[in-house]
Amino acid sequence: MKVVVDFDKCESNAVCMGIAPEVFEVRDDDFLYILQEEPDESLRPKVEEAARMCPKLAITIEG
Amino acid sequence: MESIAVVGASLAGLRAVETLRREGFDGRLTLIGAENHLPYDRPPLSKVMLAGGWDESNLSLRTNPYDDLDLDLRLGTRASGLDLDPARRAVLLDGGDRVQADGILLATGSQARTMDGLPGHELDGVCTLRTVDDARDIAARLDASPRVVVVGAGFIGSEVAATCRGRGLDVTVLEALPQPMVRGLGPMLGAVCAQLHRDHGVDLHLGAGVEGFEGDGRVERVRLVDGRTIDADLVVVGIGVVPATDWLEGSGLTLDNGVVCDATLRAAPGVVAAGDVCRWPNPLFDGELMRLEHWTNAAEQGVAAALRLVRAGPDEAGAEPFAPVPFVWSDQYDVKIQSAGRFTGEDEVAIVHGTTEEYRFVALFGRAGRLIGALAFSRPRNLMQYRRMIFERASFAAALEHAHAAS
């Protein structure tokens, strides 16, 4: 599984960080950082929920 | 369960049908929508879409094709009632059709509250903003550089004002209360919202009740209760929404500012609700009856109500309460306003992570020693941390400690 964020769409609402903090982090500079681009399969449900709940639909999952 | 009908084809309804298919429901799935459009995203309507030069294809709420969902899709179709008899449970449609369904999910959303009781409300140029058609109409009118009057300084009114200022238009905002959003935020934070508008050149009138609209066929001015008039070429009325439950009158469901459900989102046997129409006791806030009008709730509740339908089982053992921390955001000017939890202007409040003057801070709200809410101006990282703490029922003292440790 590969996590891809469209940074042209991302508005740093940080919803993804609330759902999957292991993968997504919005830092004090207000930018989103992906902590693991290819997270373990065990995180798939959380990453999928983060993608669904992103207000900008900026997150996609490949594979 | 062999057939399910979802009434309402916006965010909650779409997330519901997606969830049902993901859960393996392979029966007949009907999605009924009053508007003539596929589900679309509403937050951009008051922002980028009014800013002009924006591609409407960005409003799509789905990246995968609709064919994947194998829907019986009924767009441009209004539901007119329900038949709740378990032997022939059905959604009744305008024109007399019935959609037979073992399970029904109500997600008809809300509609803009209007000022139809006031003189001149029918004049050309007096608008509300709820649908993509509304937004197209207003965007086209903005191209003529009108003098804009916004009635109501809530989220929608404030966003419209901010977008119009971004286009360089003259904007007046009329708010009937003494401060913007004073009931929800209290006078101190309401004043911060007021100052944000004034810093950006909005002519903001507080305590300004509207008496009516005047003009010859088209609106030319707004008359206030105190007798003053404000010149206007375009009026956008943003005074809230009302849940779209008219069609459910007499259905047998309990209607009281929405469809009243239990904690698991059930309105009646085989019937659940989600999104702006749903009013349910949220266990995380001592069972307070809530009806939320926000994007994130529509998405989360659409998923939860769908799971409620297919997972509960005949003995209802699999029915789980829906207990989220409400979350809403609003983009105004260059500020991202986000709120988590449930609070009022009456609660204890503390400003942390910055100052109100720089429009970058978090306000924490406490009640009976518990952290019950947080409001952030351009502090998304912190806000999400507090959203989690609210979910974990953290104390107000623990939240203050967290804030001081972080700064």
Q: Which CATH class, in words, describes the domain spanning B334-406?
A: alpha beta
Give the span between the Cα atoms of B139 and B152, in whole angstroms: 19
pLDDT, average across residues B12-18: 98
Q: Which CATH class, in words, describes the domain spanning A2-62?
A: alpha beta
- CATH code for the structural domain at B3-43+59-111+242-311: 3.50.50.60
Fold of the domain spanning B126-239 = FAD/NAD(P)-binding domain (3.50.50)
Angle at B126 between CA B36 and CA B166, to 5 degrees: 90
Q: Does the beta-carbon distance from B384 to A27 stay under 8 Å?
A: no
Q: How many beta-carbon pairs under 8 angstroms link A with B?
A: 44
pLDDT one-digit tens code per residue, A8-36: 899 999 999 999 999 999 998 889 999 99
pTM of the prediction?
0.95
Distance from CA of A34 to the nearest CA of B (A): 14
Of B77-81, B178-182, B221-225, B372-376, give the lowest mean pLDDT range: B178-182
> What would you report as the CA-atom Rg of chain B, rounded to the nearest whole angstrom?
22
Boundaries of every domain in chain A: 2-62
B231, B172 Cβ separation under 8 angstroms: no
Chain B nearest-CA residue for A15: B384
Q: Which residues of chain A make contact with B384, given a CB cutoff of 8 A? A: 14-15, 17-18, 26
Question: Look-up: residue for tokens 């094709």?
Answer: B65
Give the span between the Cα atoms of B193 and B187, in whole angstroms: 10
Interface test with A, best of B331, B336, B381 (most A CBs within 10 A): B381
ipTM of the prediction: 0.91
Which whole-number Å values give the CA distances from B292 to B156, B298, B369, B389, in the listed order? 15, 8, 24, 20
Neighbour tally for B31: CB within 10 Å: 26
Residues carrying CATH 3.30.390.30, chain B? 334-406
Which whole-number Å values give the CA distances from A48 to A43, A54, B61, B401, in the listed order? 9, 10, 15, 33
pLDDT one-digit tens code per residue, B50-105: 998 778 888 999 988 999 999 999 999 999 999 999 999 999 999 999 999 999 99
Q: Does the beta-carbon distance from A17 to B384 stay under 8 Å?
A: yes
Residues carrying CATH 3.50.50.60, chain B? 3-43+59-111+242-311, 126-239
Chain B nearest-CA residue for A61: B63
Q: Which two tokens stand for residue B405?
A: 């440790």
Chain A nearest-CA residue for B326: A15
